[in-house]
Structure 1
Amino acid sequence: MVALIAISVHNKDGNNAEHGNEVAENSLNPSSRKNVEMLCQPTIYKETCKNTISKAAYETSDPKELIKTGFNASIEELEKIMNNSTLYAELAKDNMTRQAMDICKEVMDFALDNFYQSIDKLSAFELSKFDEYTYDLKVWLGATITHQQTCLDGFEKTNTQAGGKMAKALNVSMEMSSNALAMFTDFSNMLKNFSGNVNRKLLYQDGDGFPSWVSEGRRRVLQFGPDGVKPNVTVAQDGSGNFTTLTEALKTVPKKECCSLCDLRQGWFV
């Protein structure tokens, strides 16, 4: 971790930062400023990233804590949208739009759960369980983006301007979610480069041939193979499945249901 803090990463983004944010960055101590640059360099929305974590960098230079700040900022933005009763009252004016809004509430609740799980996992991050922790975090963070996109997909068949308004409302949270995944992915890659000895330990196999860090649930899935795992629901646009859209399929999934072959939350195979 000390080695990571000392890394200096050149920001390749050609855009100029806003004056206020530039002043804030320049007033950081060198170690914190380097870490902000390092974490935001792989993100698509660099200015959003810097605005999100620069304030926290005054209090800590720990990259892991700065990433958690990004997670918490995403949670706050999502909760602000979910608690915006004016927005919901304005958009849910007809039956189709109300249905889309109901889906939004449900999937954004899933997205919040994924962020809270990610914070807990990152807080307990152990190099001895590097691959397992990294896998879980990438799945959960990726799911936060998918859930928000599913919310927007629900407006495709509506005849109002609600979809555009919801897309505008979700713009910042989508940027933050994308940044959160990019920051953690790049950070985990750097950690992996510094943990060669730990990685060799992770390759130790139990009697069943799987690495010791592979959980029981995932072992069962791997043992069944692709032909042995049957989906609960199949989505196919050509009509050959149970549903033609993901939005319709999501309505059938019990909240926080887990399939017997999978140890990931919301583990239905859709």
Structure 2
Amino acid sequence: MEGSYLSFAHALVVTLLILLVFSTNNTVSSSIATSNLDSKTDIEYIRTSCNSTVYPRLCYHSLSVYASEIKTDPKVLATTALNITLKATKSTARMFIKLSKVHGGGLMSKEAAAAMADCIEVIGDSIDELQDSIEELGHIGNSNFWLTMGDVQTWVSAALTDEDTCMDGFKGKAMNVRVKTLIRRHTIRVAHYTSNALALINRYASKNLAYP
């Protein structure tokens, strides 16, 4: 009799353990499925948003890696785009400063060196404008939404103009072709980032959200 009772108790424990494992596996599977669905939604949101930019491919590739942070938040999307642009602009400015010190051996004429100095100055202005934009977006609220957005749009537009001014300064200047190509490539890259950031800022503004 005692043996039968122990066998029954053992079978009951085994059954409960099987049910527990099955329930846990279902919960884990459900969580993974939900996570995957959320991830696809976040990625698709970035893809759709980037379609409103002039350079959608660059936009998607630069922002999709931050999908889990951006989710479907237009403010975070715009801020992330600005941070990416700021990082690229700072990197370009550092490279230009190094190039400005190399104007011998026919790499850069005095006129080109002067244009480089002007370029470094306006790129510095661009960095300031992007930093101001990021800071202002962090303070946006109900009462100052449109005023703040107006400032941000103005600053980012000015940064884009600064980048165009930088490139224009080298027209007709005698300098090494490879150096000029390098300057042009990096300036255009930064301008494309800035253009995309501005498009996403405008998209965010169009949503008329104060507290996304």
Is 1:173 aligned with 2:183? no
Q: Which residue of 2 aligns with 1:188?
A: 205
Q: Which residue of 2 aligns with 1:119?
A: 134
RCO higher in structure (CA 8 A, sep ≥6): 2
Is 1:138 aligned with 2:148? no
- The letter of the residue matching 1:83 is R
CA separation of 1:94/1:27 partners in 2, compared to 1, >3 Å: closer, same or farther? farther
CA separation of 1:60/1:164 partners in 2, compared to 1, >3 Å: closer, same or farther? closer
Query: What is the percentage of aligned positions where both structures have the same residue?
Result: 24
Q: Which residue of 2 aligns with 1:129?
A: 144
TM (norm. structure 1) is 0.57
1:40 to 47, 50, 65: 50
CA separation of 1:59/1:88 partners in 2, compared to 1, >3 Å: closer, same or farther? same
Query: Could you tell me whether the CA contact under 8 Å between 2:109 and 2:174 is conserved in 1?
Result: no
TM (norm. structure 2) is 0.71
RMSD: 2.2
CA distance in 2, matches of 1:69, 1:32: 14
CA distance in 2, matches of 1:72, 1:136: 17
Paired positions, count = 168
1:63 to 70, 74, 80: 74
Taking the TM superposition and a 5 Å limit, the aligned residue runs for 1:1-270 are 29-61=39-71, 62-84=73-95, 86-90=98-102, 93-160=108-175, 161=177, 162-191=179-208
CA distance in 2, matches of 1:100, 1:164: 15
- The letter of the residue matching 2:56 is K
CA distance in 2, matches of 1:59, 1:41: 20
Instruction: Give how far 1:140 is off.
Output: 0.4
SS at match of 2:207: helix
CA separation of 1:165/1:50 partners in 2, compared to 1, >3 Å: closer, same or farther? same
SS at match of 1:191: coil
Instruction: Give how far 1:187 is off.
Output: 1.5
CA distance in 2, matches of 1:65, 1:153: 33
- The letter of the residue matching 1:168 is R
Structure 1, unmatched stretches of 5+, are: 1-25, 196-270
Larger radius of gyration: 2
Instruction: Give how far 1:53 is off.
Output: 1.2
Structure 2, unmatched stretches of 5+, are: 1-35
Instruction: Give how far 1:28 is off.
Output: 6.2
CA distance in 1, matches of 2:64, 2:153: 23
SS at match of 1:155: coil
Instruction: Give how far 1:82 is off.
Output: 1.4
Query: Could you tell me whether the CA contact under 8 Å between 1:67 and 1:183 is conserved in 2?
Result: yes
Instruction: Give how far 1:110 is off.
Output: 0.4
CA distance in 2, matches of 1:121, 1:178: 18
- The letter of the residue matching 2:184 is A
Query: Could you tell me whether the CA contact under 8 Å between 1:35 and 1:63 is conserved in 2?
Result: no
- The letter of the residue matching 1:48 is L
Query: Could you tell me whether the CA contact under 8 Å between 1:39 and 1:187 is conserved in 2?
Result: no
Query: Could you tell me whether the CA contact under 8 Å between 1:42 and 1:182 is conserved in 2?
Result: yes
